[in-house]
Chain A
Amino acid sequence: GAVVSQHPSWVICKSGTSVKIECRSLDFQATTMFWYRQFPKQSLMLMATSNEGSKATYEQGVEKDKFLINHASLTLSTLTVTSAHPEDSSFYICSARDPLAGLSYEQFFGPGTRLTVL
Chain B
Amino acid sequence: EAAVTQSPRSKVAVTGGKVTLSCHQTNNHDYMYWYRQDTGHGLRLIHYSYVADSTEKGDIPDGYKASRPSQENFSLILELASLSQTAVYFCASSVDKYEQYFGPGTRLTVL
**A and B found bound together:** no
Chain B residues within 8 Å of A, Cβ to Cβ: none
